[in-house]
Structure 1
């Protein structure tokens, strides 16, 4: 039921971290991946790890040329809307550059890319959009007002788009991880006080792995999740259950 054989999946932010883990998991489940990132070196390394099943696109997801290229695809079975970033700052000290940058990538680019993917999927009458959100799309946390804002926005996009696209055979879901061991989170988790703050809030007592998120991603893209749309799959060790 989680077999993705023959499916074509586009993944943004695929060069490293969760995006790369999802790309590798999709290929291992039988799918073919269009991997998008700004780093050619990262994509070359990914393609070498999964030869013949990765189509690398060295592009900026905020670029209109990228959105046009997605919309022009003849077929697209899955889209993992993963590109994004976080720059933690206290609410009263958030600078405009940080606010605008995170809104531009985490919300605007994510919306426009999902819109482009949806055009292809509606035309073919099938497809799955997986918005990579966060547990921070369900709760709040100190120093993360902008990140929470952007991830709550994506959760709203998931619900609205799911309702609108369901009659066209297109599912839209969110995948919401807790803190995961990635290059982006490593410096934050290395701080002893912050690491304790995180672990104290996860009932399972540990942060997650990229493989655990990737496995959930494959499930959401697969026929096993054929009745799942408009909802968010929390891979958070119980953080939001409290």
Structure 2
């Protein structure tokens, strides 16, 4: 029982982990013994993140590829499995945000949001899962959102993508659970990150958020590490198709 949350010897690929929440989760998972594979589209960000982990005593590798390009994804996953080793856990974390009123949302920006936040989850999961199937083991964690369940002004494409990832998580569970693969999601509430800094700096929004959230505050990205460790470890071996909301109680409050 003492090894329930031990990640020693587990190789974990985290997309979009050169910065932000992805990097925070990488650091947290490494503290529990995981070997981390940093993915980013920027070689500089990926290497800097890997160096940060190494300086903290972790084993870290880089995998620079575009999560929205099918050929790049397949090539990268093949190279990781050949040169680093089998991927035990995949975190689909890469994401972008664009803000416009719905009636004025540019089509290209809609396509960009859907491509990174939704299609990429399918592409990377498919490439990794087919290899997990042959090993009859694996875990996939999709980073969902409050917007998997709730809408908000100016981010309709983001909500549409995150809602789709919720259902992708459930569909993958149905097909992959028989192969001893657990597919779950983490749905963060409002966390202080570079992506949300504009909202953090908006005092009216922060006041509204604190009133709307039972915990009455913004989340700290470090508070996602526990959920990430749980869904990566043997403690979650019979947890499948589940969205774990880490939101200070916001979703359940009227």
Shorter-chain TM-score bucket reads over 0.9
Deviations 1:58-89 (A, max 9, x none): 22111222233215625111000000111122
Q: Which runs of 5+ in 2 are unaligned?
A: none
CA distance in structure 2 between the aligned counterparts of 1:148 and 1:9, rounded to whole angstroms:
27
Larger CA deviation: 35-44 vs 64-73: 64-73
Which position in structure 2 is the counterpart of 1:55?
61
* TM-score in terms of structure 2 length: 0.91
* TM-score in terms of structure 1 length: 0.95
One of 113, 131, 135 as aligned partner of 1:124: 135
In 2, are the aligned partners of 1:61 and 1:67 still within 8 Å (CA)?
Answer: no
Residue 29 (structure 1) aligned with residue 35 (structure 2)? no
Q: Does the residue aligned with 2:160 lie in a helix, a strand or coil?
A: helix
CA distance in structure 1 between the aligned counterparts of 2:78 and 2:204, rounded to whole angstroms:
45
CA distance in structure 2 between the aligned counterparts of 1:198 and 1:71, rounded to whole angstroms:
43
Residue 66 (structure 1) aligned with residue 73 (structure 2)? yes
Calculate the aligned-residue CA RMSD, in Å. Answer: 1.4
Aligned pairs for 1:170-185 (under 5 A) are 170-185=181-196
Deviations 1:11-38 (A, max 9, x none): 0011111100111111111010111002
Which position in structure 2 is the counterpart of 1:165?
176
Runs of 4+ in 1 over 3 A off after TM superposition: none
Aligned pairs for 1:221-236 (under 5 A) are 221-236=232-247
Which position in structure 1 is the counterpart of 2:115?
104
State the Cα distance separating 1:209 from its structure 2 match: 1.1
CA distance in structure 2 between the aligned counterparts of 1:34 and 1:170, rounded to whole angstroms:
19
One of 19, 23, 30 as aligned partner of 1:20: 23
Q: Which runs of 5+ in 1 are unaligned?
A: none
CA distance in structure 1 between the aligned counterparts of 2:203 and 2:147, rounded to whole angstroms:
21
Q: How many aligned residue pairs are there?
A: 242
